[in-house]
Structures are given as structure tokens and as C-alpha cells.
Amino acid sequence: MKKQRICIVGDGLSGLMSVIALNNLPNLEVHLIAKENKQMSDKRTTAISENNFNFIQEIMSKLDKKLFWPSKKIKLFYESNDQKINFLNFNEEKNNLLHIFENNKVKEMLFKEIKKKKIKIVKKNITKLDDLDGYDLKVLCLGRNSKIYQNIVNSRSINKDYREIALTGYVKHNIKNLNTTQFFLKEGPLAILPFSKNNFSFVWSVKNNFIVKNINTIIKSKILEILNTNKRINITNVQSYPLILNLKRTYYKNDILILGEGLHTIHPIAGQGFNLVLRDIIKLKKILKYYSELGISIKNSFALEDFSNQRKSENILTGLGVDIAHHFFKENKLLEPFKELILRNISSNSTLKKISKFISNQGLSI
């Protein structure tokens, strides 16, 4: 039987993961289409669940586990009336809650895996869909701003401009026993994400007008304050990007599928963005495996409709759920007494903790 050809367009994390995941399916030939010019450096970190980490381990011939920093503890704090309430803690003895990695280093690992498996890489700048003629399935992993999506999406998406930016960067330190921590501050949520013994990254969501000339000094002062330490820290790679909510209602058109941030962009407050992408890839792999093993032409099948039906609900519910959580933690003087009452009772609710941990790891799909 002649192999069906699939092209993955885009060499970001979503595209590279998709190529490797789909490469070993029966009767399918997968190509990566990457830009001709060199990709910009991605000096950010990403957190993934234990379940998604196991998936990456499955699709790699050999995973460099040193690139993934495991976390068995997560602490959540809420700032109110000059005090920080530790309202929820997650602790694991055996399993990990999540894994944190540097985007650049993992992308290098994925490129090496693609070359090792001799997957064809086509260097080509895609400006229109006609550039992809000749493939049975086209998967677009072009980020959230690609204009090409306009030719596919024929219904309104769920959109929202938070009028906020995410400040990100790396911190070198000598602080002992530092755990993954989320602080819900008056200025906006700030996450501490350790990715090695003496390094962590931060993601601080603040209002657009928060940017000032001495931003590094402000960030350093805030981090020292919330960690309650006077030890020296060194901040590097400070970047910022706008925060929006975008949940597409249309996932595909004919034989073209949108994947990655182009499908759903959500607030980073819960760290679920790339976890949703990986769950999409896992589901797509299962569906394509099913059709290819039956010898059914993917181009003329219900594969993309199945994928849309099985993933859209979770993606939209998760995005809207994160949006509600973001609103709940935003400063509101009238609601402060009620927030404190709710948060102080959360830690004693073991059922809620189990549900939260399950959803963070597995998602909403069972």
C-alpha cells in the first residue's frame, strides 16, 4: 500500500512534537516544513504534567531526562492585606506533579531526534495553502498569529484581550529547597518554576502599563520579597509578550488541521497551555493510527472531524475555566473578605485537591 503523506508546518515545540509523534504510524510518511530563515531563540521554560512527560518519553528513541526538572511539591499563595496566605499545597512522595524544561534545549533535542529518525525536513516559507499541494494531510503549527488561519476558520472564535503582558526570565540563585510556587499578587500572578538546582524561571502577569525603565530592579525586588530571602540572585533573559484568550471553534477545513497555539491560546496562570497541545497530539495520533491501520484514506475519512469532536470541548472548557480563575484572583476590594474565607477552607478539602491534581495531570478527558 502506498504511504499517505502528512506535512507538519512549523518548527516550534508543537510542530516538532507532532512530527516525532506521528512519524512511526503505519502507512504514513511525515515531513516537517520549516522556515528557510533561522528560528528566533525561545528563552522561556514550559511546565508539563507527569502524564504528558510519559508521552514524550514514549515517542522518543532515548529521552534526555536531565532536560526535564521534576517537581513533587507545588505551593499556592494569595496576597491579601499585606500577608500571603498559603491556601493550597500539593505533595507527592512517589510520582512527580510536573516537569519543567527550557524550550531551547528541548527543541534542540527534538531536532536531533528528527535527524536520527531521518524524517524529511523541507525548508520553505509558507505564505498560502497552495504551497502545501501534494500532501494528504496538512497540519499547521504556525503559532497564534498566522494569517493563513483566516482561510480555514469560518466561525467566530472566543477572543479576549486581557490588556496584560507576561514578564518572563531566568533567575540564578543559591536558595535551598526551592519548590514550584504560584503567588497571586495584587499586581498579578507570579509563578516560580525551578528547572535546575540553582536556576528557576518566572512568569509574572501584569497590566500593560506596568512596564517601566527599571523593570529588572522591580522584578528582583518582588522575587526577593515573596521568597523572603536576602540572598543574591541574578536575573537574565527578561522578555514580555501580550496575553490574550483565543479559542477557535473551527479546527479544520477539508484536509487541513490547525494545531498548537493557533488552536487555543490561554492565560498562563494555570500552566495548561502546552499541556493542552500535547493532549491534542496524543488524540490525533490515536485517531490517525486507527484509520491508517484500517487502510482508510485519511484525506477522505472522518479523522479530522473525529479529532475536532473529541478535543474541542476540553480545550474550550479548560480555556474558560482558566479565565474564570484569573478573574477570581484579580484584586477586588468588595470581594476580598469572601475570597479569604473560600481560600482558607480550600486546604482542608481533600476531595477538591484530588480532583484538581487529576485534571492538571490528565485533563478533562477520561
Domains along the chain? 4-362 (3.50.50.60)
Whether the CB-CB separation of 346 and 354 falls below 8 Å is answered with no
Q: What is the pLDDT of residues 55-104, one digit of tens each?
A: 999 999 999 999 999 999 999 999 987 788 898 999 888 889 999 999 99
Q: Are strands 28-34 and 120-123 parallel, antiparallel or unpaired?
A: parallel
Q: What is the pLDDT of residues 269-310, one digit of tens each?
A: 989 999 999 999 999 999 999 999 998 999 889 999 999 999
pLDDT at 1: 59
Q: Which three cell numbers stand for residue 362?
A: 490528565
Whether the CB-CB separation of 235 and 220 falls below 8 Å is answered with yes
What is the mean pLDDT of the segment spanning 44-50? 95
Instruction: Give the three-class secondary structure for 89.
Output: strand
pTM of structure: 0.94
Whether the CB-CB separation of 330 and 205 falls below 8 Å is answered with no
What does the DSSP assignment read for 306-338? HHHHHHHHHHHHHHHHHHHHHHHHS--TTTHHH
What is the mean pLDDT of the segment spanning 209-228? 90
Exposure on the CB side of residue 289, measured as CA atoms within 13 A: 11
Q: What is the pLDDT of residues 314-343, one digit of tens each?
A: 999 999 999 999 999 987 777 777 887 888
CA separation, residue 172 to residues 67, 73, 98, 202, 355 (Å) = 17, 20, 21, 11, 34
